[in-house]
């Protein structure tokens, strides 16, 4: 798909993978509307853009359906078209068991990680269907491939998003030129991962050395989405768990317990 001259919406653009995806699209000649709750973070993304004039930051709470609907309408009104939606925004679950996590936190995780992307996608879909070709990307997670201790709800939210992406790709396969790509990244050095490693008591230096860089991950995500690939696994750990999960669910469970369980149960 052509990038230069097209208009893309990227959520979570105030930091981490979302920022890197937005900057990669701007670098390729696109106009990007970056959405995030973090207004200072959006300003930093704009400052880092190769051409700041082609990046516009918009404050948005994707957990608020009315705000999502209003945001989509305002973007279309301002730009006249939208050629792609990159759903990147997400939040982490602090390491805690299903008995410990509160109902309120469960609802927030599902609203941000699942419903927010669903609402945005449905809000933009009528406009995307009018384009000669268009793309949608869902950012799932390694946690949707294998279960990890202390992250049952986070994993569920990301697995739900993955299945939504796969199903939507099937819905649109024969009826439109809109492609849907679901990306399952492994450990990426972002604020989300930094916070989780701190909660588990893992050395930041060790986690950073193990994690993939968001710039490289973003490039892979953008390239795969523009090619219309349906499912993309990114990162060495994600690939390893994907292979293990296909061979044996029990092996994947044991590996996730070894990776996270030892630290999780110490707390």
Residues annotated as part of the active site: 154
3-state secondary structure of 225: helix
DSSP letter assigned to residue 213: P
Q: C-alpha 93: how far from its chain's center?
A: 15
Query: How far apart, in whole angstroms, are the C-alpha atoms of residue 169 and residue 167?
Result: 5
Handedness of CA 154, 158, 163, 167 (dihedral sign): positive
CB 88 within 8 A of CB 82: no
3-state secondary structure of 11: strand
- Residues forming beta bridges with residue 181, ordered by sequence position: 137
Angle in degrees, 0-180, between the axes of helices 39-48 and 16-27, rounded to the nearest 10 = 30
3-state secondary structure of 39: helix
Enter the tokens of residue 161: 């998003």
């Amino acid at each position: 798909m052509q990038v230069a001259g097209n208009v893309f919406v990227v959520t979570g653009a105030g930091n981490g993978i979302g920022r890197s995806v937005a900057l990669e699209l701007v670098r390729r000649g696109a106009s990007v509307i970056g959405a995030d709750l973090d207004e200072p973070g959006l300003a930093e993304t704009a400052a880092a853009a190769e051409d700041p004039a082609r990046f516009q930051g918009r404050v948005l709470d994707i957990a608020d359906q009315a705000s999502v609907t209003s945001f989509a309408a305002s973007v279309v009104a301002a730009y006249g078209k939208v050629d792609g939606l990159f759903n990147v925004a997400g939040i982490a679950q602090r390491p805690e068991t299903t008995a410990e996590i509160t109902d309120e936190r469960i609802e927030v995780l599902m609203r941000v990680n699942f419903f927010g992307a669903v609402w945005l996608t449905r809000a933009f879909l009528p406009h995307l269907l009018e384009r000669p070709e268009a793309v949608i990307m869902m950012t799932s997670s390694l946690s949707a491939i294998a279960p990890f201790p202390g992250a049952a709800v986070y994993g569920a939210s990301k697995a739900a998003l993955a299945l939504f992406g796969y199903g939507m790709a099937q819905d649109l396969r024969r009826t439109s030129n809109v492609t849907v790509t679901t990306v399952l990244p492994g450990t990426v050095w972002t604020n989300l991962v930094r916070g989780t490693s701190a909660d588990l008591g893992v050395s930041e230096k060790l986690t950073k050395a193990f994690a993939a860089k968001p710039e490289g991950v973003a490039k892979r995500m953008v390239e795969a989405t523009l090619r219309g690939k349906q499912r993309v696994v990114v990162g060495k750990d994600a690939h390893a768990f994907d292979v293990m999960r296909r061979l044996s669910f029990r092996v994947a469970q044991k590996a996730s317990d070894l990776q996270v369980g030892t630290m999780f149960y110490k707390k």
